Structure 1
Amino acid sequence: MKAKKILQRAGMLGLSVTALINAVCTYIFFQAFGRKKERSFRLHSKKSSSLQEKKYDARLSSRKTWLSHQPFEEVFLNAYDGLRLYGRLYSPQDPQASEKDCAQSSSSRKSSKEPATILLCIHGYHSDGINDFAIFTPFYKKKNLTFCLVDDRAHGRSDGHYIGFSFHDRYDCLTWANYLANRFGPDCRIFLHGLSMGAATVLSCSNSDHLPSQVKGIISDAAFSSGWDQVAHVMRVRLHIPVFPMLLFYDKICRAIGGYSLKYIRPVDCVRHSRVPILFIHGDADNFVPTSMAYKLYNACSGPKQLLIVPGAAHIMSYITDPKAYQRAFTSFIKKCIHNSPHKGIESGAK
């Protein structure tokens, strides 16, 4: 009888602990992956405001002001599951042209042998197209590039309640890529430029059979190699909670509410069979997405590839830390992809 009571109490205790862990993981999921109002800047450093972040924030504000005076076209697309996706299309030719006019300008470029070069820009976690990519846009404009700043599902002006963490977003990215390919024609050159979660998204598209042939390359800035490993890193380093068994419970919540498992978010597997060249960029002071993940992704990639590691750069700070090195790597990579010239191996460090 005494043993039976002990077993009953142990069972009740086990159920109580399980219920508590499940409640904590559910709370974390809604805080981490639930839709939130985007902020003008997202802090990733341990300090509340580092000098690097202050520099970024000031530069971002001026770039957003500059971008607000540039003409653009609003684009709405339907995702594979019915959500409405939003993007802004900026063109050096005629940004507010209709699709018919755009097709005519595309024909004109074809006749003059100057096909459009287009960037599809996929932002990161709890941000939007403008907040993450405004910093790059004067450079894009200077290079005479057409660029499309999209809002991921559950971000900005796109529909959705829960962040896809690159799982659902990879299908949305392919939807955008095929839209741009159909709109600008068979001769256009499309490059996918992703930051952080957006970088993991574009890498997850690299081996897809649905990637249009017009996509010539991918620029991945601060991507994580695995959704499981990234969440484990955040739990261990930033939240200071035990990865086991919390991550197992958390993954069940992701499946039940988000519709995906972290185990199936593996950009590192996708790049092993990439159909296009990839430029990997990462800061060596990134404490949000470990720099080791950049090396893991680069080493796994079996196709044409380049790697730029920027000394002193925190998470998604590579461009603001050393814009010249970033621009050199970016420009040379696009030229090599367009002209189908052999790619160099590693290009590490900021010169």
Structure 2
Amino acid sequence: MKRFFRYIFSCVLLLTSIGLYCTNRLMYMKKKEDQFIFNREKEAGRFNPTSFEALNKQDISIPSPFGYLLKTIIVEPYETNRYIIISHGVTENKTNSIKYMNLFLKRGFNVVIYDHRRHGESGGKTTSFGHYEKYDLKAVVDWVYENKGRNITLGIHGESMGAATMILYAGMLEDRADFYIADCPFSDFSEEVSYLIRSEMKLPAKMILPIADIFLRMREHYSIREVSPITVIDKITKPMLFIHSEKDDFILPEMTQKLFEKKKGSKKLFFAVNGVHAQSYNENKEAYEKAIDDFLQEYMPVKEI
């Protein structure tokens, strides 16, 4: 009998260790240091601190519905009603969004960049890969409309987790923006986690994922299976441009292909030839900008100021 109880205890201990390890990897995914991102973007020529400081901009702290502040910068060099929000990827911060900010500034947009929860200067203790982040994005969208007027033309550009967050926001909460640009999103988080468990941890995903999901439900009150852009993409009616690198081996390009195929209504798809994950713009600048221009020319609504 003692041997039986020792066996049961060992099994419980093993399952608990697996559950805690996996959920810690998700909830507290190692972020890049802010200074590292700053130096990387500056050295690559994608961020000029002097030019950035000279812009007409304002620092804003937007309250999250979860009790922390979202550190946000609104850049407004133009008297225009064209705005775009940039939603960065996991482990990054709003400095990584500056290259996209510059892209849209050149096209006459005012731009809003912000830090996701637990990233950069924003509050929040855990990362949820879009589950809670979608409500924060809604708070940013609400702020823009409330402060810049209901008659603005608003776009949202998301990269990686930021793109998944954008799709979850538009598909689950409100399809309120006028257009969306999804750069390398995952289509389903459970599929993405399973892929990473197999490819990086070399463990059987079918065994590990249910354990991680149980512990995530207990610790963070949501399921991995709830973070699924593919299940809500067909609810988005506004135009969407999908972007992915053909060589991405972190979030596979087939995920974007699936999202594109299920999206109803106006849509475009651009697969970048060069670069791995979240490098489509960095490695294919001219082709990326052409894809943006073609999409905006065809689908961006024109509203009078």
Matched residue type, 1:116: N
| Contact 1:63 1:138 (8 Å CA) reproduced | no
Q: Distance in 1 between matches of 2:183 and 2:275?
A: 12
Query: 2:112 pairs with 134, 148, 157, which one?
Result: 148
Higher-Rg structure is: 1
SS at match of 1:219: strand
**Unmatched 5+ stretches in structure 2:** none
Change (3 A) 1:41 1:12: farther
Asked whether 1:125 is paired with 2:90, we answer yes
Judging changes above 3 Å, is the alpha-carbon distance between structure 1 residues 41 and 219 closer, same or farther for their aligned structure 2 residues? farther
User: 1:221: how far off?
Assistant: 0.3
Matched, 1:89 2:66: no
- Where 2:171 maps in the other structure, the secondary structure is coil
Alignment of 1:179-194 (within 5 A): 179-194=143-158
Comparing 220-229 and 26-35, the one that deviates more = 26-35
Q: Distance in 2 between matches of 1:161 and 1:209?
A: 23
Q: Which runs of 5+ in 1 are unaligned?
A: 44-53, 94-104, 106-114, 341-351
TM-score under structure 2 normalisation?
Answer: 0.90
Q: CA deviation at 1:66?
A: 4.1
Which residue number in structure 1 is paired with residue 11 of structure 2?
A: 17
2-structure distance, mates of 1:271, 1:60: 35
Q: Secondary structure at the match of 2:86?
A: strand
1:59 aligns with 2:44: yes
Q: CA RMSD in A?
A: 2.5
SS of 1:158's equivalent in the other structure is coil
Task: Report matched runs for 1:1-351 at 5 Å.
Answer: 5=1, 9-10=3-4, 12-34=6-28, 38-39=32-33, 58-59=43-44, 62-63=47-48, 66-93=51-78, 115-130=80-95, 132-208=96-172, 210-212=174-176, 215-339=177-301
Distance verdict in 2 for CA 1:250–1:64, change over 3 Å:
farther
Q: Does the 8 Å contact 1:206/1:275 carry over to 2?
A: no
Amino acid at match of 1:317: Q
In 2, are the aligned partners of 1:60 and 1:134 still within 8 Å (CA)? no
In structure 2, how many angstroms separate the alpha carbons of the residues matched to 1:55 and 1:152?
Answer: 19
User: What's the CA shift string for 1:115-165, capped at 9, x where partnerless?
Assistant: 4211111111111111x2122233222212111111111111111110021
Q: Matched residues, percent identical?
A: 21
Q: How many residues align?
A: 301
The residue type paired with residue 227 of structure 2 is: I
